[in-house]
Chains A and B, each alone.
Chain A
C-alpha cells in the first residue's frame, strides 16, 4: 500500500536571490494506491516541480509530503528509501542511458538497491517484458536502438525497481502516434499487472481522455481542477482558459451543442461522440 498525501506544499526556486520564483503554492492532494492519474497543465504551471517532490528529489520550501503517513523528508534514509517506492521517469529518459548493454542499463536501479544477482536478473526480465523489449536486445548497446525502443528501455530501468507509484513526465513527447500508443499501452499494462499507482504528466488530452481515471489540472502553481475525466472535460471553456486543449471529440461536441444539437452525457472520446450523435439523430440502423 502506498498512499501519498501532500499537505500545503510550496516550492520556491533560488529563494533569497533576485531570481526567486515560487513554482508551486500551497498544494494539498492525496493519491491513493492503484489510481491512474494524469497531471495536466501548460509549461511553467508547476506540474514538473510537483512530481519531483513525490520522491524527494526536491524538498519542499514549506509543507509536507507523506507516504503512508511517514514524512518522506524526515532524514537522509527516508529520502533514499522513497526513491525505491516512487519511481520517476523524466522527460526524454533515453538521454540518461549509459551502460554498455540494454540489460545492464535496466539493472542500474536494482543494483543500486543492492539486490542479489538472481533477483536483479529476474527484475530486468520482468521490466523488459512490461515494456515489450525483447530479450534478443539485451546484449545490444542502448545507443543502437531506435528512439521508441530507447524510451522503453529507459522506462524499464525505473520499472525494474518495482515502484509502488510510477510517475512519468511526458512519456510520449516527440514520439509518433504508433510509438506513443505503444508506450501508453505498456504503462497501462504495468499498472494492471502490478497494481501500482500511475501518474502521468502530459499535454496530450486525447491520451488523458483514453487512459486515466483521474485528472489533476495545474495552473499558476496550484491545482485548478481535480476529478474524473467526465467532471474535468465538462469544463471545456475553463480548460481552454488555462491554456490547455480539450480532446478533439469534446471540441466537436461543444461546437455541436452550440448549434443546438442535444448531446446527452459526457462526451470526450470518439465512441462517446458517435453514440451521443446516434441517439440525437435517432438513427436506429447499424
Chain B
C-alpha cells in the first residue's frame, strides 16, 4: 500500500508572527492505516491537520496528497475530494437544516447526479448509524450525533482519507464513545484511512500508529504501545499516559517483571493478576 499524504520538510508560520508552528515536518500516511496524532494545545497538531487538504499551505516544503501538491491551485478540488475533514465544533460544520440535506452538500458541490447522491447519502448515514435521523433538524441532535452527521457528510464525498481534527473535544463521554467507535469501525471494517487528532490519550490506544506533536515537531512516532512505554518522556511533554501503563511501570519499579505494552484494561489486569497471584502462591508455600 502506498502513501496517501506526504509531508516533505514542511515548515509553517503565520505571516507577521515570529514563531514556527510547524518545523521541518517529514511524514507520510499509509493507505488503510489508522494514525492518531496526540499533543497538547499549541503543539501544532491542528495546523498539521489543516495542511492535509490544503486549507493551510506550507511556508516552506511541500505536502502531497495522492501525488498532487497542495499548493497547486488548479487541483485543489481533487485534493479536498481525496481528503475529507471533520472539525471540532459540531455546530459550525453543519450547513443545512435537515440532516440528509447536509450530508448531500459535498456530492452536490462535486456535481454528482441526483440519484447517485441519494444513494451515497443513505449509505453514509447508515455507516454512521444515523439513518433514522435523516429528516431531523441538526440543532436538535446531541453532540455525538451531530459529529456523526459531520462524518457522514464527509463520507458521502467518498474520500480516500478522513482527517478528524479533535472531533471529541466538545463532547460528553457518551458522545466521545460514539464518535470513536464509529471511526474505528470505518477504519477496521470499511478500510478507510483515518487520521485522528486528539488530546485524549485513551482515544489513541487502538490506532496503528501514534504520532506525538510538541512545539511544532514530531516528538514521538510509533505504535501506541511503543510510544506510551516512554512514560517519562510523555510526562515531560505534559501528556498523560494510560493508567494501565503507569501502574505497570510503578509495579515494575517495585520488582515486578511485567510487559510494558499493555494498553487495554483487560489484558493489563490479566498480566497483573497472574503475577500477583503467582507471588502469593510462592510466598505461602
B42 at interface, CB cutoff 8 A? yes
| Nearest chain B residue, comparing its CB with the CB of A173 | B170
A42, A260, A277: residue with the most chain B Cβ atoms closer than 10 Å: A277
A1 at interface, CB cutoff 8 A? no
- Give B224 Cβ to nearest chain A Cβ, in Å: 16
Q: A146-B41, A270-B247 are in contact. Are A282 and B173 (CB under 8 A)?
A: no
B270 at interface, CB cutoff 8 A? yes
Report whether B239 and A261 are in contact in the complex, using a CB–CB cutoff of 8 Å: no
Please, could you name 27 A-B residue pairs with CB atoms under 8 Å apart, sorted by A? A43-B174, A173-B170, A174-B88, A174-B169, A174-B170, A176-B199, A177-B238, A178-B41, A178-B238, A179-B41, A203-B173, A248-B242, A249-B243, A251-B265, A252-B244, A252-B269, A255-B265, A255-B268, A259-B273, A261-B273, A270-B243, A270-B247, A274-B250, A277-B247, A282-B279, A282-B283, A283-B279
B31 at interface, CB cutoff 8 A? no
Interface size (B, Cβ < 8 Å)?
41
Q: A248-B243, A286-B255 are in contact. Are A42 and B250 (CB under 8 A)?
A: no
Q: Which listed residue, B169, B239, B255, B269, touches A283 by the CB 8 Å rule?
A: B255
Q: A278-B254, A286-B253 are in contact. Are A256 and B269 (CB under 8 A)?
A: yes
B13 at interface, CB cutoff 8 A? no
Main secondary structure of the interface of B (DSSP, over half): helix
Contacts of B66-100 to chain A: CB distance below 8 A = 88
- Give B112 Cβ to nearest chain A Cβ, in Å: 35
Q: A255-B265, A274-B250 are in contact. Are A285 and B255 (CB under 8 A)?
A: yes
Report whether B246 and A270 are in contact in the complex, using a CB–CB cutoff of 8 Å: yes
Q: Chain B: residues with CB nearer than 8 A to chain A?
A: 40-42, 88, 142-143, 169-170, 172-175, 199, 202, 238-240, 242-244, 246-247, 250-251, 253-256, 265-266, 268-270, 272-273, 275-277, 279-280, 283
Q: Chain A: residues with CB nearer than 8 A to chain B?
A: 42-43, 146-148, 173-179, 203, 243-245, 248-249, 251-252, 255-256, 258-261, 270, 273-274, 277-278, 280-283, 285-286
